[in-house]
Structure 1
């Protein structure tokens, strides 16, 4: 009879073999387990009967546990290495291989792995009170930036690579500071101290072979002892002011020097032009004199009079003086009043450069020159201003 069919005599029978229905308690746990074991025994080849039922139950449970364990063991062996990392696989605790980024599988309890970051630049500070070459104590702070390049060496060369790097940095820094003066550490020689510390640190870690490379060494701060800190701060400020003033003077020199050179070049060019002008004028005067000399030798009086008249014409043509021949009694005096009034108006204006002229009439006739045997005399009038 099937387990879910109604029983004889109208009595119900539940799936666990109990009769009576509602008044019965919960089903027997042992009976339920036996039912499950019988079913599993049938699956794994068990036979019927009470003795065979117990053996089938045990074999079924063990088989199921083994299957589940194998599945869990296989699934737990998958792991992922990120892009910035490299995986170091250990087999029974010893180095086995190095794997690249991606999805990998390992047999659990046999292999293990360690992911090492090989792309990120890490930093490690170092600080302490140190003695300089001139027997002064300074407190120096420095930061080392490094990156892992060999994961296997980084993990297995030394017990603690970070502590090894810290000790190496402290040793290199103390060595360099101990061979430098205090002024070099505090002010002007900081860059040299940084470079020397970098070189010394690379030399030390090369002997350890810890699989890292130094990317940079930053000299963060260096301070003198508290007792003399104020004096050193003043000294540093004075050096900074000195550098600032020197840089300002150099900038001023770079600005003024081209201007001075240009001024010198201009003066040299003007001097050269003036030299050529004077030379050419002198040569022209010499040529003119050489042309005039034969004429003067042929007629000295005529040539002298002509030269005098030409000179007086060139001199008196720009003045407002009036020349009157007073020796001839029959001559009529003529004064160019219109031109004189125009010259007076020009003298009043600020743009006029002609100064007022006073002609003294008390000068004797002998003081005036002769032109063609006649005495030239200025009339005694004054060109005034209103």
Structure 2
């Protein structure tokens, strides 16, 4: 085989390899859970977030970096293996509160990649930077909090302050990460005896809150009943008031009618009123009305109001025989 022919074969093979490489490296796929960014001679293009089959220039002109869209979790202060074993790092979690007490604080930070270009090019290790920013944020918040708040009812406020401070730091670092949530896992004391004492304090605090809630519930119930009774009394009083007013108006109307009749015939009206009054006062009495010579009327209830004497019942033959027998 001549040298010229050998060179031709090598050239053909080289061209074939280049063509195969171009074919296999010009196509790539993006999954629904992924986002991609195409890098052309070291310069990144806009992120690709839509899934499907994509085309690019062959390597080494362009290459593709794929990043996940999922939510990641940063375990700060401990590490949990897939088998469920937990390893604590007290050196990271030991912090000083605002009232000079020591606590151990574990937390979980949930985050995701929202800017692939910044994530790839603005930091060599974005996750390490996130870990350091988390440590700085939680230490700053714990350092401004009292130990009672960190161990009992102030955890929600500590979480809110931590995520606010951490988000501001990550935004300044511009590493393409967005912090979603910060959740405290454990806030405890390093000493077992002190931890037991504070557990008792926590239980007492919860008992106090329960009693306060029960007292407020009882107060609201009593207030509701008192308001209901007050409304009922006011309603009854208003009803009684209305009834008295209507009765007074009726009496006034009746008096006006009687007065009008009295103006027309004074004597007859006067006698009629007297008779109606006697009938109302003595409904069961027999009354006789007589006129004397002077024209004055007399009203005499002649029916005796005393109870009448009852006649004894007749004696029977049996009683008479008993009396005769006793006489003998």
Using the size of structure 1 for normalisation, the TM-score is 0.59
Distance 2:272 2:4 in 1: 166
Change (3 A) 1:143 1:293: same
Tell me how far 1:227 sits from its aligned partner.
2.2
Residues 98-129 of structure 1, C-alpha deviations (whole Å, 9 max, x = no match): 45254223433454332122x32222121312
Secondary structure of 1:76 counterpart:
helix
Q: Which residue of 1 aligns with 2:25?
A: 77
Q: Which residue of 2 aligns with 1:204?
A: 169
Q: Which residue of 1 aligns with 2:213?
A: 247
Whether the aligned pair in 1 keeps the contact of 2:47 and 2:117 (CA below 8 Å) is no
Q: Which residue of 2 aligns with 1:38?
A: none
Secondary structure of 2:306 counterpart:
strand
List alignment gaps of at least 5 residues for structure 1: 1-52, 318-322, 324-369, 382-386
Whether the aligned pair in 2 keeps the contact of 1:125 and 1:142 (CA below 8 Å) is yes
Out of 227, 240, 257, the residue aligned to residue 274 of structure 1 is: 240
| Root-mean-square deviation over aligned CA pairs | 3.6
Which has the higher Rg, Structure 1 or Structure 2? Answer: 1
The answer to whether residue 70 in structure 2 is matched with residue 104 in structure 1 is: no
Change (3 A) 1:371 1:103: same
List alignment gaps of at least 5 residues for structure 2: 78-92, 287-298, 311-328
RCO higher in 1 or 2 (8 Å CA, sep ≥ 6)?
2
Whether the aligned pair in 2 keeps the contact of 1:81 and 1:87 (CA below 8 Å) is no
Distance 1:97 1:71 in 2: 25
Distance 2:211 2:229 in 1: 27
Q: Equivalences for 1:160-309 in 2 at 5 Å?
A: 160-225=125-190, 226-278=192-244, 281=247, 307-308=277-278
Tell me how far 1:182 sits from its aligned partner.
0.7
Residues 131-159 of structure 1, C-alpha deviations (whole Å, 9 max, x = no match): 10111111112211222222122112122
Moved more, 149-158 or 164-173: 149-158
Tell me how far 1:175 sits from its aligned partner.
0.8
Using the size of structure 2 for normalisation, the TM-score is 0.68
Secondary structure of 1:120 counterpart:
coil
Secondary structure of 1:168 counterpart:
helix
Change (3 A) 1:266 1:380: farther
Distance 1:182 1:310 in 2: 86
Change (3 A) 1:166 1:296: same
Tell me how far 1:184 sits from its aligned partner.
1.4
Distance 1:108 1:263 in 2: 87
Out of 89, 104, 110, the residue aligned to residue 139 of structure 1 is: 104
Out of 281, 301, 306, the residue aligned to residue 377 of structure 1 is: 306
Distance 1:110 1:380 in 2: 140
Whether the aligned pair in 2 keeps the contact of 1:126 and 1:142 (CA below 8 Å) is yes
Tell me how far 1:261 sits from its aligned partner.
2.6
Distance 2:10 2:220 in 1: 95
Out of 129, 145, 151, the residue aligned to residue 116 of structure 2 is: 151
- Number of paired residues? 273
Distance 1:207 1:284 in 2: 86
Change (3 A) 1:66 1:298: closer
Whether the aligned pair in 2 keeps the contact of 1:87 and 1:114 (CA below 8 Å) is yes
